[in-house]
Amino acid sequence: MTCQSNKDLQNIIDEVRPLTEAGVVADYIPALAKATKNDLAVAIYEANNNCLYAGSYLKNFTLQSILKVLVLALALQDRGVEYVFERVGMEPTGDPFNSISKLETSIPSKPLNPMINAGALAVTNMIRGESDAEKWNRIISFVKCLSNKKNLSYDAEVATSELKTAWLNRSLCYFMKQHNVIDGDIEDLMMVYTKQCAIEMNCFELARIGAVFALNGLDPETGERLIPIHIARICKTFMVTCGMYNASGEFAIKVGIPAKSGVAGGILAVVPEKFGIGIFGPSLDKKGNSIAGIKLLEILAQQYDFSIF
């Protein structure tokens, strides 16, 4: 299947692209800093397998935090709802995604939700597997199914670079290890975590993942169930309450659909029953979301009445 270029979408892209000037590309590792600031692309994958796009929709980018919602879907299948939420909370937080203070002040100490770094690290720690290799294979296989990208892989330069500098994530891990939220070797966990964050695809493939959630877990092409319905629903709920870092509340007000962003500029968005949306725009606003991507979704939501509220 290939996507159709769409003039309406292209008009919106043209309208919001100037916003990219006001943002900044992530530069905490060199590999991300190389991104082209003005890049902007969108793909819409409809439930009936039509696809529309505008911009450089075949350009690859690393998913980063978007993986948090996919790994959550897998961990919930691996361990069950009860096990997962005994170790990670369900509540949104007004704190930044990488904050450690709440881990200290919460009693018992557990990450507030699976969309902040601490929570995602704890969730990745729950993926089943005898070895790190097996855990990693299960993650990449699951994402392969969702995206239908046969040659799905990760950007080794990004993963290596993150692994070398992710001191704050290690700090979160050791804090949680102290409080028995996670177990096992931290460096092994960091290896899996940084590799999963570096999984790369284009926004058409990301839109297809959105379509799976839009269909509550069904493969849009085969109709096969890829995610149990109750788990798909939980994932969409977290995308609404905590998907866009500590701008989630504002995004819910202004756009009103489940979405998850990543620091490389990707956004996975879901219009329930209708379609998945994949966006790539590496210029970020102060909260860490694609600055033009958010505006693009805001315009789409208003024009086509996407809001679930």
Residues noted as catalytic = 65, 68, 193, 245, 263
C-beta separation of 57 from 43 below 8 A: yes
Rounded Cα–Cα distance for residues 74 and 119 (Å) = 14
Which one of the spans 5-13, 143-151, 199-207, 240-248 is the region binding a second copy (CB under 8 A)? 240-248
C-beta separation of 140 from 129 below 8 A: no
| 191 contributes a contact to a second copy by CB under 8 A | no
| 47 contributes a contact to a second copy by CB under 8 A | no
C-beta separation of 37 from 30 below 8 A: no
List the beta bridge partners of residue 276.
45, 270
Instruction: Select 177 or 225, whichever has its Cβ closest to a second copy.
Output: 177
| 129 contributes a contact to a second copy by CB under 8 A | no
Position among 21, 27, 86, 91 found at the interface with a second copy (CB under 8 A)? 91
Smallest gap, in angstroms, from Cβ of residue 150 to a second copy?
30
Smallest gap, in angstroms, from Cβ of residue 208 to a second copy?
20
| 298 contributes a contact to a second copy by CB under 8 A | no
Instruction: Select 38 or 307, whichever has its Cβ closest to a second copy.
Output: 307
Position among 92, 266, 282, 288 found at the interface with a second copy (CB under 8 A)? 92
How far is C-alpha 167 from the geometric centre of its chain's CA atoms? 21
Q: Order of strands, edge to edge, in the sheet holding 61-62?
A: 61-62, 199-201, 153-154
**Which residues in the 138-167 window bind a second copy by CB under 8 A?**
167
274: exposed, middle or buried (C-beta count within 10 Å: 0-12, 13-18, 19+)? middle
Smallest gap, in angstroms, from Cβ of residue 198 to a second copy?
19
- For residues 77-89, one letter each, b for 16 or more C-beta atoms within 10 angstroms of the residue's C-beta and e for the rest, the string is bbbeeeebbebbb
Smallest gap, in angstroms, from Cβ of residue 38 to a second copy?
28
Closest CA to 212 of 196, 228, 198: 228
| 54 contributes a contact to a second copy by CB under 8 A | no
Give the footprint of a second copy on this chain (CB under 8 A).
89-95, 99-106, 112-113, 167-168, 170-175, 177-178, 233-234, 236-238, 240-242, 246-250, 252-253, 256, 258, 272, 307-309
